[in-house]
Structures are given as C-alpha cells and as structure tokens.
Amino acid sequence: MGDKAHTQPGAAGRAQAADHPTSVRNVVLVGHSGSGKTTLVEALALTAGAVNRAGRVEDGGTVSDYDDIEHRQQRSVQLSLVPLEWDGIKINLLDTPGYADFVGELRAGLRAADAALFVVSASDGVDGSTRMVWDECAAVGMPRAIVVTHLEAARANFDEMTRVCAETFGGDDPDAVLPLYLPLHGLEGADGHAPVTGLIGLLTQKLFDYSSGEREEHEPEPDRLPLIEEARNRLIEGIIAESEDETLMDRYLGGESCDVKTLIEDLEKAVARGAFFPVLAAAPAAEDARQGLGTVELLELITGGFPTPLEHGTPPVTTIDGTPRELNPCDPDAPLVAEVVKTSSDPYVGRISLIRLFSGTLRADQTVHVSGHGLVDRGHEDHDVDERIGALSTPFGKQQRPVSHVIAGDLACVAKLGRAETGDTLSAKDDPLLMEPWEMPDPLLPLAIQAHSKPDEDKLSQGLARLVAEDPTMRLEHNQDTHQVVLWCLGEAHADVALERLRNRYGVQVDVVAHRVPLRETFGDKASGRGRHVKQSGGHGQFAICEIDVEPLPGGSGIEFVDKVVGGAVPRQFIPSVEKGVRAQAAKGVAAGHPLIDVRVTLRDGKAHSVDSSDAAFQTAGALALREAAADARINLLEPVAEVSVLVGDDYVGPVMSDLSGRRGRVLGTEQSAGGRTLIRAEVPEIEIGRYSVDLRALSHGTARFSRRYVRHEPMPSQVAERVREEALSA
C-alpha cells in the first residue's frame, strides 16, 4: 500500500456496472451520528473523481442529495449508495445513519456489504452502539477497518484514539488493531493546535504530504524514522502474527528482514479474512484542494485489502416450499438470486428498489419472481408473484445512470417493482427461490394516529401501505380493541420521519393521539341481574325476561356461560339467544367500555310469551341482565402485563432495575451474558412502558436492548384505575 499508480480524477472515477465480481468491493460505513461518515464519502468521491471540488457530478446533483428530510434535519436517516471507481475497481460505498432509530437501515447496509469501515471521531470517541455493531460484524466474520476523523478538532489525538480503538475493538488481541500510517503535523496555530498535513507509512516508510491540496510522495527526513520505529515494529509483528506463512515469525525473530511487498500482501490477506483491523486517518479536502488527507490510502486499502464478493458467502437460500438450495458463490452464470435492501419512492419514477445481487445476472426489462419475506406481523403481506422490472441504474445522489445489466456481487437500482418490498427476494420466474431474511429490530415505540380530515382519511390507507413497504422496521397495527391505527417505531426520530414522509411524500396529514393499551374488565365479586325486555305497541310485541348470576373466574378463563334453567321457564330455543346477548354485551364492556373477561354467567330463571318472545328479545334481555348485575357489583379494571427482557451492560444494571421497579415492575431474575452484559427479566404493566424504548436508551447511553411479550391481564391498582377512568371521561 502506498506505491501504486492510480486513476486520476475524472470520468474514470464515475462507476458503472461491473464486468466481474472480482472487480467489485461493497463497503458499509458505520459510526455514531456526527462521526463524519457522509463527509468521508464525499471526500472519497472527490479523490476518485466522481465529483468536482464543489461536490457536484457533471450531470447535476451532489453526493449528499439523498433525501429532503436529511437536509432539513441535518442528519442521515436512510441507507445511501455511492458507487466510485479506483484502480479499475468499482467501490460501492454504503453510507448508513448513525442514529439508533435508524438501525434498520444499518442492518440493510451490513447485509449488502462485504466489509465495513468503522468511522470514529477523534474528538468524540467510540460510543456503545458502535461497539455493539462491531460485535455483530465479528459474529459473522465481516472484515473491518477503522477510520479516525475530525483530526482538525482542538482536542483530537490520533495516538490516544488508536489506543482506545485497540482496547475497545481488539478484545483479547489488541495487536490486531493497529495503525498503518501516523499523522504528520504542521506548524502550531494561534490556538496551539498543529493541523495534520500528511501521513507517514509505517511499512513503506514513505511520507505522503497533502499540504498542497494533492497527495505528494516524499522520502522522509532521516530524523523522522526513529520516531516511527516502535509503531512500525509493532505493526510488522501484528501482521506476521496473522500471516499464513508460519515460518515468517521465526525468520523475523531470528533477525531476518521482512520484505515490504510480502508484508503488504500478508496484511491484505489478513484484512480480507477479518483477522486484522487496520486503523487509518482521514480528513476532507481543504478549500480548492482535490484530495482529502488519507483518502488515497483508504481507497488503496479498500481495493487491495477488502474482500471481493466471491469471498463473501451467500445467505441461506431455499425453494419456495423450504427445500435448501446450494448455489455457487457469486456466480454470474448461476440462477438469479437478488435481495431488495432498500425501497424508496421517486415522484417521477415511482418505486425504486436498491438490490444486492448474490447470484446470476439481472437485465433490464426482465421478468423476475418476487418472494415475500414473512413479516406479516408488521403489516407486510407475504407475496409470491412474477413482475417485470423496469430500468436498471446505478445511483449517485439523486441521479440515476442507466445500465443494461447487473452481475452477481454488484448493487443497482431497479425501477417499477410494484410488489417488491425491503427484504424480498428476486429470482428467475421459472426457478423461484427465497433468501433467508436478515434480522430486523423490533419496533417498540407506539405512535397512534388518525386522519386529519376526510380527504386525508381517503388517502391514509395507501400512504401507510407505501410507508411500511419502504421500512420493514416499522409495524402497522389496526388495533381491534382500541380501534386505533398504530405505527410502531424504533424511537422518536423514527416516528418524526414517518410523519414527515406521510405529509410531504404521500400528501397525508395525520394527527397524533394518545396511545391506548387494551384494558379489560371483570367482576370483583358475585352479583345477580335481571333483564326485562317487554314492549307492546300494537301488532307483534316483544317479551323476554331472564335472571342471571355472575361470578369471577381465574385469569385466562374467558367468558363461561352455564344453563341452569328448570321447568322450561326459558324455552330451549332461546337459551342460545340469552348467551349471545350476554357475550355481545361483554364484548362492549359493562363499566368503562372495555371487554369483560374471566366470569361465569349462569342463567337460572326467566319468562317467555308464547307469541311475543323471540331470538332478538332474549338477546336484548341477556344484555340488560348483565348490565344490571354490573351496576350493583365491584368492577375491576384489568391491564395487560408484559414480560420484558433487558440486555444491558453491567454498569447500568442497578439504574435499569430501579427504573423497572418505578414502573410497577416485578424483577423475575437476572443472568450473566457475554461481553460484560446482564439479562434482566421482569414483568411490567404495558401502560408503564409505552415510551420505554426512548427512556432505556437515555438511561443506558444507547447500549441496552429490550424485548417484550404479552403474558396476561391482571387487576390494576385502584388509584391507577381511578386515574384511567377520569382520563376516559375527560377524553
């Protein structure tokens, strides 16, 4: 690295379709919000010649032209693809949001990529969510490198940040996380801060000066070499430790000099295997400069050290009926298998699907099979249909450059796939296949909405369908108990983006209303009721009288109806009518309008008329009897209780358990988990955890995760029940 001839800025930097999987590198950028991922992408695009100094492509638009929401909020909210070309290699850079609410976009980027660049700010350090993503990549063996940004900050310290990265990411082997270059500082300014003006390669011992605005290679002054000797020796030892040549370490320890070319080759192999994680420094180009500091070195690492798609295994593939299917990795001549990793809408083109092609070759106007992804619980219907795709293109900001075909290993955009959603599989229509979906985070923040006006009500259903088709981390619920439309989101920022897209993209104005949990009612003690429905107004009348006893049952019993009528007081044919009326009234509730559960209703007596009694009359009488029994009884409100499992760092166990107790939670137990974390299990009333995803993130600094599942309804404390009743009356 550091001694190659490179393509010069210009047309060569604008990537088109790849000719072979070996000429593709798919790289996802990971880092916390504000770490500089998008700025780094722009700097790499400038160095590769994909944009000019103003950040614009020749046909208009900029690398940052992704989404109007992103411009307004000044942060990334979705996955963005920027393809470049360097040394004849197509590089697909996948820029992901750093904010935790958009982790679904991050997971999609990880699925589409073959390697990851972790972007770390020299002034802010490494946050907990970045560490968690590193662990996810480690679990699947994804190759990684680290880029330190914001070196211009007054308190930035590259050496210190390298040490932090080694401790954080190195685990049991901190020598696997080492810098390839050391920054060179210029003269100190008035503030005492010396800007970084160049880099010195630890392996090549070459100096790369960026102070002129373009990278210039020099031989370093002799007095600089002793300053890098310790770091260079440590890097060489780290590379040799991961070398596939087992004799190299013995030769090195025996005093034999290691050839730089051999070391670079071993380094690149170790990086591609995910065994060594180099640290580099990068900064955007200064005004009027054509290359940002460290961008050439980073492009060299991507093209030389990161793996090709051929080295990345294909996720499990089955036929539609579930039979496993073996495919040659990334073979352009194999059966077609592609996956939709992102869905978006364009006001002129319509739906656009960003796909990663894992096998085969896809051509424009080809008919493909679209297989559903099994997320019915989130409002995404399964589907199994053939569709003809529209144009194929490679994106750059808001621009789309047409291509005739896409081969295995590459990424591209497909137009006019009307049924395909994020996570769906595209395959040949005569050989339909299904790819195992990637793990989606569970949305746990409810957002109850209603149409603002009648015109909005007419458009709401379609707008919501298009919204959830784009975002599989969002769940759409039409709650049958509360009659609310609920969007389940990952956090407040996620909810804000959903509302803005409904309003600006789909033209639907909605109002946010208080989310209601599905409460229940039950009898607190035994009671009796008499239902009398007698009407005579000329002609055929109505006559039905029934007497019932009601008693509470254990939780989970539902509604039990018992017939104890003797002597035919209520004719046999009308007893089902009484039961129907009782159950209908129970579904409506008897006190606060919540369904009645866990009671036994016993029909013990009644009266009928030979002419005026009817099915409808006894249904009405049964309902009246239940209401009368409730009027004289103590009615308890039942609230849903969820089992909550919280995975949290050991440092936050105390605050999390204290917080759960403050939510009327009962801690069931704790158990140790890997990575210095603890799993806490507790039962908590659902009314207390509506915003728990937001509060837990603040409490644990974004490092905790939780899941929940409904377990039962149980009586609500009297003071809480009284407050709920008052809120219902005032609503």
C-alpha–C-alpha distance, residues 443 and 460, integer Å: 21
Q: Residue 236: which region, alpha, beta or left (left: phi > 0; alpha: psi -120 to 50)?
A: alpha
Residues 6+ apart with CB under 8 A from 495: 445, 447, 487, 489
Provide the pLDDT for residue 548.
Answer: 96
pLDDT tens string 285-298:
777 677 889 999 99
pLDDT at 553 over 60: yes
- Percentage of the chain surpassing pLDDT 90? 57
Report the pLDDT averaged over residues 89-104.
90
Q: Could you tell me where the DSSP H helices lie in 242-361?
A: 247-253, 260-273, 295-305
Distance (Å) of CA 657 to CA 504, 651, 661, 701, 706: 41, 12, 6, 15, 13
pLDDT at 497 over 70: yes
Per DSSP, the three-state class of 373 is coil
What sign for the dihedral angle of Cα 596, 599, 605, 610? Answer: positive
Residue 186 pLDDT grade (very low, low, confident, very high; cuts 50, 70, 90): low
Nearest to 28 by CA among 130, 114, 128, 138: 114
Name the burial class of residue 319, with classes exposed (0-12), middle (13-18) and buried (19+) by CB atoms within 10 angstroms of its CB.
middle
Residue linked to tokens 């989970």? 556
pLDDT tens string 19-40:
899 999 999 999 988 889 999 9
What sign for the dihedral angle of Cα 170, 172, 174, 176? Answer: negative
pLDDT at 401 over 90: no
Residue ranges of domains in the chain, CATH in brackets:
11-220+267-311 (3.40.50.300), 317-435 (2.40.30.10), 445-513 (3.30.70.870), 520-633 (3.30.230.10), 637-730 (3.30.70.240)
C-alpha–C-alpha distance, residues 232 and 296, integer Å: 20
Residue 14: DSSP 8-state? B
Q: Of residues 132 and 709, which shows the higher confidence score?
A: 709
Provide the pLDDT for residue 688.
Answer: 94
Residues 6+ apart with CB under 8 A from 133: 30, 106, 110, 118
pLDDT tens string 455-477:
999 899 989 988 888 888 899 99
Provide the pLDDT for residue 60.
Answer: 47
Q: Could you tell me where the DSSP H helices lie in 27-148?
A: 37-48, 68-73, 103-112, 128-140
Residue 527 pLDDT grade (very low, low, confident, very high; cuts 50, 70, 90): very high
Provide the pLDDT for residue 709.
Answer: 94
pLDDT tens string 104-152:
889 999 999 999 999 999 988 888 888 888 988 988 889 999 999 998 8
Look at the chain and count its residues. 731
The whole-chain average pLDDT of the chain stands at 87
Q: Of residues 344 and 338, which shows the higher confidence score?
A: 338
Q: Do 60 and 268 touch, CB atoms closer than 8 A?
A: no
Distance (Å) of CA 95 to CA 21, 23, 103, 163, 346: 21, 20, 12, 26, 19
Q: Which of 406-420, 620-634, 710-724 has the highest mean pLDDT?
A: 620-634
Residue 71 pLDDT grade (very low, low, confident, very high; cuts 50, 70, 90): very low
pLDDT tens string 413-437:
998 888 888 889 999 999 999 998 8
Q: Could you tell me where the DSSP H helices lie in 368-505?
A: 454-470, 492-504
Name the burial class of residue 280, with classes exposed (0-12), middle (13-18) and buried (19+) by CB atoms within 10 angstroms of its CB.
buried
Report the pLDDT averaged over residues 565-571.
91
pTM of the predicted model as reported, rounded to 2 decimal places: 0.85
C-alpha–C-alpha distance, residues 684 and 662, integer Å: 10
Provide the pLDDT for residue 375.
Answer: 63
Residues 6+ apart with CB under 8 A from 302: 25, 27, 86, 89, 91, 115, 117
Half-sphere exposure at residue 204, Cβ-oriented, CA atoms within 13 angstroms: 19
Report the pLDDT averaged over residues 223-239.
88
C-alpha–C-alpha distance, residues 561 and 114, integer Å: 61
Report the pLDDT averaged over residues 84-98.
93
pLDDT tens string 243-285:
888 888 888 777 787 888 989 999 999 999 999 999 999 988 7
Per DSSP, the three-state class of 164 is helix
Report the pLDDT averaged over residues 700-723.
90
pLDDT at 643 over 50: yes
Q: Rg of the Cα trace of the chain?
A: 33
Provide the pLDDT for residue 592.
Answer: 83
Q: Which amino acid is at 46?
A: L
Nearest to 116 by CA among 38, 31, 16, 2: 31
Q: Of residues 5 and 452, which shows the higher confidence score?
A: 452
Provide the pLDDT for residue 131.
Answer: 87
Report the pLDDT averaged over residues 675-693.
93
Cα–chain-centroid distance for residue 281? 28
Residue 373 pLDDT grade (very low, low, confident, very high; cuts 50, 70, 90): low
Name the phi and psi angles at 190, rounded to 5: -65, -25
Provide the pLDDT for residue 156.
Answer: 84
Q: Of residues 54 and 703, which shows the higher confidence score?
A: 703
Name the burial class of residue 398, with classes exposed (0-12), middle (13-18) and buried (19+) by CB atoms within 10 angstroms of its CB.
middle
pLDDT tens string 189-219:
545 566 888 999 999 999 999 988 889 998 8
Instruction: State the angle between helix axes of 653-662 and 692-700 in degrees (0 to 180), rounded to the nearest 10.
Output: 150
Which pair of tokens denotes residue 716? 């609500």
Q: Do 441 and 107 touch, CB atoms closer than 8 A?
A: yes
